[in-house]
Amino acid sequence: MTVRIRVDHDACTGHARCHTVDPDLFTLDDVGYSAVDVADVPTGAEERARLAVASCPEQAITIEEV
């Protein structure tokens, strides 16, 4: 099973809490917004991805299992 994240850039306001939780998975652009569109979560990082999703105040990140 693969875990995948998606970031809604229209909803993201640049708090970067996701980046604080997992800077390797949630990279930022030059102005501090998430640079991730869709990404597969590496094995072992699933809990950090879920924590990042939960920490987003705009709920701009979704997670799915594929």
Q: What is the pTM of this model?
A: 0.90
Instruction: Show the domains of the chain with their CATH numbers.
Output: 3-65 (3.30.70.20)
Kindly report, residue by residue over 29-42, the tens digit of the pLDDT: 999 999 999 999 99
Asked if pLDDT for residue 59 goes beyond 90, the answer is yes
pLDDT on residue 6: 98
Reading the block at residue 23, the tokens are 């800077």
Under 8 Å between Cβ of 7 and 14 = no
pLDDT on residue 47: 97
Segment 13-17 shows an average pLDDT of: 96
Tell me the DSSP string of 33-66.
Answer: SB--SEEEPPTT-HHHHHHHHHH-TT--EEEEE-
Asked if pLDDT for residue 1 goes beyond 90, the answer is no
Cα–Cα dist 23/51, whole Å: 13
pLDDT on residue 27: 96
